[in-house]
Amino acid sequence: MKYEPLHNIGVFIHAVDLDITKFVNQVLKEIQLTNEQNLLMALLWEREGISQNEIAAKLNKDKAGIARMISTLERKGYIRRKSCPSDKRSTEVYLTDEGKKLGDDVMPINKGIIREINKGITDEEMAELRRLLMKVRENVNNS
């Protein structure tokens, strides 16, 4: 088998990820949120009071990067941190009123982003794509 680095599925997946990130960042530009900030906020719109460590685990990001992102969103007035009552070493993250209002504005945009990304792909194809990507993920995580 000839080694062709640009035909590597990992390179292709990375290129698609970069394209999706660029698209999402462009759509979210006017509301001054990045793709990653949007994901963090989406976690909080789903359930407030989760710890910084839990956010890092769910987004598969390093704790320092999550701390910086939280600081940025805090400066924007969308979230606030609070010490965990049961573990003072842990910090929980909550939405401010402005952060909750932002969710009302952004959730329809997020639905539009998903519609655009999934355009022309059937439910069956999407299920197969997820299955195949999970297989790739398992392969690299188990090696």
Q: Residue 90: what pLDDT?
A: 80
Tokens of 101: 């209002």
Residues 4-30 pLDDT 10s: 777 788 999 999 999 999 999 999 999
pTM of structure:
0.84
Mean pLDDT, residues 35-60 = 94
Residues 91-141 pLDDT 10s: 899 999 999 999 999 999 999 999 999 999 999 999 999 999 999 999 999
Q: Residue 39: what pLDDT?
A: 95
Q: Which CATH code of 1.25.40.10, 3.50.50.60, 1.10.10.10, 3.40.640.10 fits the domain covering 5-110? A: 1.10.10.10
Helix pair angle (35-46, 52-59), 10° resolution: 120
- Residues contacting 76, CB < 8 A, separation 6+: 32
Q: Residue 47: what pLDDT?
A: 94
